[in-house]
Amino acid sequence: MRRFLSSQKSIPFFFAALTLLSYGLLLPSTGFYWDDWPFAWIAKFLGPAEFLPAFAPFRPFLGPIFYLTTSLIPPVPLYWQIFALAIRFLLGLSAWWMFRQIWPTRPRIALMASLLILVFPGYSQHWVALTHINQELIPFIFYLLSFGFTFKALRAEKPLPPLIIALLLQLCGIFPTEYFFGLEGLRFLFIFFLVQGSQAERFIRTFKTWWPYLLVWILNAAWLVYYYKFGPYTSYEVTAAHSLTFSTILAGTLDALWKAGFYVWIQVLTLTFTSLSAPASLLTLGLAGLSFAVLLPYLKTILQTQVDEDGPFSTPLLIIGFLGILLGRLPSFAAGLPLTLQSSYDRFMISMMIGGSLFLIGLIEFFLKSMRIKTFLFAAILALGIGQQFFNANIFRRDWEKQRDIYWQMTWRIPGLKPDTVLLTDQMPIDYETDLSFTAPINWMYAPEYTRADLPYILLYTEKRIGGPTLPAFEPGLRITYPYRTVTFSSSTSEALVIYMSRNGCLRVLDPAHGDMEIYAKLPSVLTGAIPLSDPGRIITNASPPATPMFFSEAEHDWCYYFTRAGLALQANDYQKAVSLGNEAISLGYKPDDQNEWLVFIEANALTGDIEKAKDLSARALAEDVRVRRGVCTVWESLESSIGVEKTEEAFSAFKCNR
């Protein structure tokens, strides 16, 4: 076993183990996020070939990649997460192969750099699998292999075949996405530090080798000019930066260098130490510690066998790493996009993986001479990378659980929905989905037999859309038309349903007829302004079969189950059922975090004649939070025509309501 662990044959197995530790531990508990949902919906209902026209206006060279992968893998979250694991493993092996082609006499540097790329902690988007496998990881693998074949061609007796392969792989890496535009400069740097001679001679020799790739780069640059000029990025609400000053360039340079070259490697310590007692933090640090204990003995063994033959190499590593970070940042910086960690914007870190990894190794090589200390530090850095990726996975696990709660509450409260309905809300209490992300699963749930036609449903965030072309104003009768890739949603503001879900509350349907304009008056105006448009009559209360969320086991029947089902019963005028649901919830010890959720049960009890129970619930809500007085009083006022003035006057007096 020791002989095997110290041999080259063990390295691919080590890559596999590192991949599993970093990305596989929570894999079964993760799912679809962001654009995964629209892409999965397209694959399911329109077929893989639809990605070709779907991407035609936006990154058209991505279409064939999506077509190929979705033809092979069904739109099931677990399958895509497994595929992401395999792709990540291949990415690590590709990086290792590439570095061995570039520096065949420096196997230790090649191994260290590829391992850092494998766990690179600045990129948190691995679990948005369907999107980022296709959009970034596969093109990145093409680029890594292109670099490798370039140096294979340099050393080959017959250089033409590997040169052609390198150029084809360059095309496949650079054209699908603009993320890797700056990486081509790295090829020049790798060649420059390989060839010998004076600076002028090295430059000339480098250019003679690099010029075919430069032509492809220029061709890609011409395409990007066209791409920006005709506005594909406008669909993502991004504006290219037109005015650059010395201060903005310097600030952008320092920001990229700090984050990609330093901070991402210790970021997990900052994230966990701020909430050290939290289970997620303890598990993350525990995994990092365990990983260090496991990694160190192996690295001590394997790095001793990876002997660099050409002596110190720290200065070229620092130069290539520094410039690699800047080249990787170039496309997103030029487009005016921020480099924000722990957000969707850290996807731009993928083009800085090579530079960031080489820069860190350059620092280690420059400042440390002891191989023992280097190995110790390198094991610690890898362990922190593993911990960071586990921390990220846990965020996506929680998001997937929150999605399950949202979709089940939606179907409990809205078992069926009339076609052409516009669902409006200001924002859903979740971080990794947009309104258009929600649109796909909503159509999947409520139109499971959909065939090509206009899109039946859409969810719009009023906070984002109001005042724009999609939702000009909160007025009835306004046309709403939205192109959803290759299909179109078409309806009007008179066919809307307004929903609301606070971060700690349950999903509810807002109804102007029940005084919700008054009850929720303190919520943002981008939500309350839409309430008059809400038509609960668009809900099919007796849908058969009722809508069911896909991929999720049924959420726990906690307070929100009873609240949403009671809201549906109240809408269907089944007041006794609403009362029974409330009584059962109370008997099980459930209670709301948002005291306004008692209002459904207050109204139901009053309408069944149990005025005292309605008063008790009103008092209970006010005892927990006096701010719900507005809601309590509004409900009692709405009950006046049903239970009589005398009883409502008693409630007004008891709860200090102002007429």
The DSSP secondary structure of 579-630, one letter per residue, reads: HHHHHHHHHTT---SSGGGGHHHHHHHHHTT-HHHHHHHHHHHHHH-GGGHH
- Are 384 and 268 in contact by the 8 Å Cβ rule? The answer is yes
Q: What is the pLDDT of residue 230?
A: 59
* pLDDT(559) > 90: yes
Position 502: which residue type? S
CB atoms within 10 A of CB 227: 16
Q: What is the pLDDT of residue 233?
A: 45
Q: Which helix (H) or strand (E) holds 117?
A: helix 107-119
The tokens for 286 are 């525990």
Q: Which helix (H) or strand (E) holds 154?
A: helix 138-155
What is the DSSP secondary structure assignment for residue 556, as one 8-state letter?
Answer: P
Please give the biggest Cα pair distance in the chain.
101
Listed range (132-136, 372-376, 543-547, 649-653) with the worst mean pLDDT: 649-653
Tokens 């200001």 correspond to what residue? 426
Q: What is the pLDDT of residue 432?
A: 87
DSSP string, 219-280: HHHHHHHHHHHT-GGGGGT--------HHHHHHHHHHHHHIIIIIHHHHHHHHHHTTTTSHH
Region 495-510: mean pLDDT is: 96
Cross-strand bridge partners of residue 481 = 490
> Which residue stretches of 414-533 are H helix?
435-446, 462-465, 516-519, 525-528
Instruction: For 408-445, write each residue's pLDDT tens digit.
Output: 999 999 999 999 999 999 999 998 899 999 999 999 99
CB atoms within 10 A of CB 250: 10
* pLDDT(231) > 60: no
* pLDDT(246) > 90: no
* pLDDT(535) > 70: yes
Region 397-412: mean pLDDT is: 97
- How far CA 124 is from CA of 51, 173, 357, 557, in Å, comes to 25, 21, 16, 32
* pLDDT(329) > 80: yes
Position 575: which residue type? Y
Q: What is the pLDDT of residue 648?
A: 86
DSSP string, 341-376: TTSGGGGGGGGGHHHHHHHHHHHHHHH---HHHHHH
Average pLDDT of every residue of the chain: 93
> Hey, what CATH topology would domain 556-659 get?
1.25.40
**Among 334, 392, 368, CA closest to 124:** 392
| Distance (Å, whole) CA 496 – CA 512 | 12
Position 659: which residue type? R
Listed range (215-229, 254-268, 446-460) with the worst mean pLDDT: 215-229
Q: What is the pLDDT of residue 627?
A: 92
Instruction: For 32-77, write each residue's pLDDT tens digit.
Output: 999 999 999 999 999 999 999 999 888 899 999 999 999 999 999 9
| Distance (Å, whole) CA 586 – CA 620 | 12
* pLDDT(235) > 60: no
Region 372-387: mean pLDDT is: 97
Q: What is the pLDDT of residue 243?
A: 63
Region 593-619: mean pLDDT is: 95
Q: What angle do CA 393, 288, 110 make, to 5 degrees?
A: 90
Give the domain ranges of the chain: 2-398, 414-541, 556-659
CB atoms within 10 A of CB 244: 12
| Distance (Å, whole) CA 133 – CA 69 | 9
**Is the link from the previous residue into 545 a cis peptide, with omega within 30 of 0?**
yes
* pLDDT(240) > 60: no
Region 569-596: mean pLDDT is: 96
What is the DSSP secondary structure assignment for residue 309, as one 8-state letter?
Answer: S
Q: What is the pLDDT of residue 336?
A: 86
